[in-house]
Amino acid sequence: MSYDIQRLCKENIGDVGRIHESIYKRKLPLESLQKKYDTRYLGSEYCGYLAYFEGKPVSFCGFIPVASNWGDKVEISAQSMDIMTVSRHERKGLFSLLTHKTFDLAKEMGITFIWGFGTDVSKRVLIEKLGFNCDEHVQGYRFFAHKRWLDKLLVKAPFIRSITEERTRRILQQYSTDKPFQGSLQTMTDCPIIARTPDYFRYKSFSTAFFIELESVLFWIKLHPHHGIMIGDIEATSEEQLRRGILAFKELANHHGLGAFIFQTIPGTPVGKIAAELADETFPSWALCYRSLSSEFPLEKLKVTWGDLDTF
Is there a shared CATH topology between the 4-111 domain and the 139-287 domain? yes
Mean per-residue pLDDT pooled into runs of 10, the chain (312 residues): 93 95 89 90 93 96 96 96 89 92 97 93 88 94 77 58 83 96 92 93 87 98 88 96 97 92 94 96 95 97 94 86
In CATH, the number for domain 139-287 is: 3.40.630
Query: How many other CB atoms are there within 10 angstroms of residue 129's CB atom?
Result: 11
Q: Where are the domains of the chain?
A: 4-111, 139-287
Find, among 135, 305, 164, the residue nearest to 225 by Cα.
164
- The fold of 4-111 is Aminopeptidase (3.40.630)
Report d(CA 233, CA 274) in Å as an integer: 13
DSSP string, 140-172: EEEE---B-HHHHHHHT-GGGHHHHHHHHHHHH
- Go through the chain and tell me how many residues it has: 312
Query: How many other CB atoms are there within 10 angstroms of residue 2's CB atom?
Result: 6
Global pTM?
Answer: 0.91
pLDDT in tens, 95-126: 999 999 999 999 999 999 999 998 888 888 88
Sign of CA dihedral 238, 244, 249, 252: negative
pLDDT in tens, 119-155: 888 888 889 889 999 989 999 999 998 775 555 555 5
Query: What three-state secondary structure class fits 119?
Result: coil
Query: How many other CB atoms are there within 10 angstroms of residue 23's CB atom?
Result: 14
pLDDT in tens, 7-34: 999 999 999 999 999 998 888 889 989 9
